[in-house]
Structure 1
Amino acid sequence: MLDARIRPLIDPPLDAAGRMLANWGATPNAVTLLGLLLGLLSAAMIAWGLVLWALVPLLASRLADGLDGAVARASRKTDFGGYLDIACDFLFYGAVPLAFVLLDPAANGVAGAFLLAAFYFNGTSFLGFAILAEKRGMETAAQGSKSLYFSNGLLEGTETIVFFIILCLFETHFAALAWIFGTLCYLTAVLRLWAARGIFTDRKETP
């Protein structure tokens, strides 16, 4: 919901930094993998109990996630780069809730499982929509230039990162926050399915 609103604000500085990194010889895939490593380091720190310190690599990983696309635009975009980017994003998104479960399985286990299931469902609705949109030649630029079709939703990348930051700041409230955010993820996926029904159902077919 917020991604399209913040793109005009963050794209100019990201593009400038991306051009500089590309001139220095950085590749988009290397930046993507660096972002993943930082994200997994953040998750490991959470699991070890260094929750507030984990914010440092977490935020750095999301900066890298924004820079990889900027480097690609300044050098060479590839389909594999977009595929690698989304795969790494999903691994990072799953690693953080898992880290909180490992931090305190008794308190966070059930809520963490609920949140991961919600991420799984929401991610599937997102990727499935992208596949069908590609078949129909649909394009979107609201979330920036992407290799995949990015359907909008109630919860997107920006909301998820804000949620992770809140989790790190209020770790003792993980369970309650996970139930709330997980429910909103389910709602996002259901709304996306509803939108897909209207877009991808041919008129000649019976609803």
Structure 2
Amino acid sequence: MFDRQLRPYIDPPLNILGGHLAVSGVSANAVTLTGLALGLLAAAAIYVGVFWLALGLILASRLADGLDGAVARFHGTTDFGGYLDIASDYLFYGAVPLAFVMHDPATNGVAGAVLLTSFYVNGATFLGYSVLAERRSMRTASHGVKSIYFTAGLLEGTETIALFIAFCLWPGWVAELSWAFAGLCFYTAISRVVLAYKVFSN
């Protein structure tokens, strides 16, 4: 929901820093994989209960996730780069809730499983919409220049990162936050299905 509103503020500094990385010879794919590695390290920190370290690693991971696009725009975007980026994002988004489940399965197990299911369904509606939009040559730059079509939703990347930050700050509330976020995530998925019906049914 807030991704589009934040983009005018975060893109300029990311483009500057990404340009410096690109000039120094760093590839966009290397930045993507670095961000994924940091995210998986955050999940490991969560599993062992070092939440302050996990928080820092999550923020560093998402910084890299923003920088890879800036580097790619400097070098020239590729289809594989976009593919690697979205695959890495989905692994990160699954690893963090899973780590909280593994850290305290008795408390977080059911809520975490429901949250991951909502991510799965929401991701399917997002990617399915993108495939159909590509077939119809639909284009949008509302979320920046992307390799795939991005549809807006109630919950997007900004809200999910805010959830993960809240998890790290208040680990005792992971289950309650997961239930609430999962409900909103299912709503987002359903609204995207309705939108797809209106746009693609004929």
TM range (shorter): over 0.9
Moved over 4 A (4+): none
What's the counterpart of residue 4 of structure 2?
Answer: 4
What CA distance in whole angstroms lies between the structure 2 residues aligned with 1:164 and 1:195? 28
Instruction: Check if 1:119 corresponds to 2:119.
Output: yes
What's the counterpart of residue 16 of structure 1?
Answer: 16
What's the counterpart of residue 51 of structure 1?
Answer: 51
Find the residue that maps to 1:144 and give its secondary structure. Answer: coil
Q: Offset of 1:76 from its aligned partner?
A: 1.9
What's the counterpart of residue 132 of structure 1?
Answer: 132
After TM superposition, the structure 1 = structure 2 runs for residues 188-199 of structure 1, keeping only pairs within 5 Å, are 188-199=188-199
What CA distance in whole angstroms lies between the structure 2 residues aligned with 1:46 and 1:83? 27
Q: Offset of 1:148 from its aligned partner?
A: 0.4
What's the counterpart of residue 205 of structure 1?
Answer: none
Q: Deviations along 1:34-64, whole A, 9 cap, x unmatched?
A: 0000000001100011012211111000000
After TM superposition, the structure 1 = structure 2 runs for residues 53-202 of structure 1, keeping only pairs within 5 Å, are 53-202=53-202
TM-score w.r.t. length of structure 2: 0.99
Matched AA of 1:119: F
Matched AA of 1:120: Y
Q: Offset of 1:183 from its aligned partner?
A: 0.6
User: Which structure has greater helix proportion?
Assistant: 2
Q: Offset of 1:6 from its aligned partner?
A: 0.4
Gaps of 5+ in 1: 203-207
Matched AA of 1:118: S
Find the residue that maps to 1:53 and give its secondary structure. Answer: helix
What CA distance in whole angstroms lies between the structure 2 residues aligned with 1:143 and 1:163? 20
TM-score w.r.t. length of structure 1: 0.97
Over the matched positions of the two proteins, sequence identity in percent amounts to 60
Gaps of 5+ in 2: none
Count, aligned residues: 202
Q: Offset of 1:134 from its aligned partner?
A: 0.2
RMSD, aligned α-carbons: 0.5
What CA distance in whole angstroms lies between the structure 1 residues aligned with 2:107 and 2:166? 17
